[in-house]
Amino acid sequence: MSYSLAGVSCMVTGAGGFLGSRIVQQLLQEEEELAEVRLMDTTFSPELLKTYEKFQGKTDVKFLKGDIRDATFLQKACQGLSLVIHAASIIDHIGCLDEELVKAVNVKGTQLLLEACIQNNVKYFIYTSSVEVMGPNYRGDPVINGNEDTAYESNHYFPYGQSKKVAEEYVLRANGEALRNGGSLVTCALRSMYIFGEGCRFLMCHLDDAILNKDVFLRLSRKEAIVNPVYVGNIASAHIQAAKALRNPEKATQIAGNFYYISDDTPPISYSDFNHSIAEGLGFGIQSKLAMPVLLQYFLASLLQMLSTLLKPFIKYVPPVNRHLLNIFHTPFTFSYKKAQHDFGYQPPHSWEEAKQSTNKWIASIVPQRREYLKNGKQC
């Protein structure tokens, strides 16, 4: 028997963001319509609001502007829900943001949301986690085609990965918590690979760098440091497929309290070569070699970090690169989605060629705009 989300009242946190908005769009396109979808975020762009005007189905759509750190707001937001998809998160690989802010949003916000769900008898909770919960670690130990049973020393020293790991632990530990109506909370976490697709700001930033470099992408990662990015449409679909499976009592027993790696059939490739592969049809090239040897990169990153520490009492200096970011660029790190496929039937609906074509079309549409921005001294 297949299960649907018909009649479900769902809230998506981070609904104004890259992934959250895509999850909402897919929820509103379900053949068997939900009773309600609540979109929670601090802001919603005018462009995003326009995209929802075409959805004129029976699903009630509500916009909730509020802060994930506001317990009172969360208590009201969760009333009458049966499903929460928690995609809200601060992503910071450079250290631009205050560490306490990252922890407050990613960790404390998740705790407060879980408490609100328990108090309001929300049955199902799906958390958008990250591959950075696993690593790469500070030594840059590689993982090729890893899975949920892969042994790995995940030593976290950078705020983002650390906060996602702690938040995920809270979510999985909350599985089975008693609800006020006598039921119990059912949770799971989806560890996403690097997400690409239409609207990806990281891809846009790399595109800006390429335009400034005479339409040549910078080689920031070793060719051998392969990763397997996931298309935004596929990771969004994974959330919905997991939500449907959780409504199946037999499947829910298998999924509850577990985490899953979510990738797709994007060919394993280094980050730099991936960026180029998406845009090469538009005439962009890529540097053949690293601009600086890897060991020298790490040495320079260490010096810049020391400088940042020395200047901290007087001024905030954020180095353009750090050892954590270099580990991401230079560590082979790929994971299989087979367990998600086995446990809750995850199947990427978009092929690599389809994802590549859609992303390429989006890049083509923004190139003229980005060139104009950069000409006026603006940048991602």
The residue among 313, 128, 320, 141 whose CA lies nearest residue 232 is 128
Q: What angle do CA 67, 68, 74 make, to 5 degrees?
A: 95
Considering 52, 127, 160, 231, which one is annotated as catalytic? 160
Strands 333-335 vs 230-231: parallel, antiparallel or unpaired: unpaired
Amino acid at 55: F
Q: Are 146 and 268 in contact (CB under 8 A)?
A: no
Q: Are 8 and 38 in contact (CB under 8 A)?
A: no
The residue among 245, 179, 343, 190 whose CA lies nearest residue 5 is 245
Q: Going edge to edge, which strands form the sheet with 9-13? A: 60-65, 36-41, 9-13, 83-86, 124-130, 186-192, 259-262
160 is catalytic: yes
Q: Are 284 and 217 in contact (CB under 8 A)?
A: yes
Greatest CA span in the chain, whole angstroms?
63
Cis, bond preceding 136 (omega within 30 deg of 0): yes
Which residues are within 8 A (CB) of 106 and not within 5 positions of it... i.e. 6 or more apart?
89, 90, 160, 163, 164, 166, 167
Number of Cβ within a 10 Å radius of residue 184: 14
CA-to-CA separations, 216 to 346, 362, 376, in angstroms, rounded: 36, 18, 20
Coil, strand or helix at 114: helix
Catalytic residues: 160
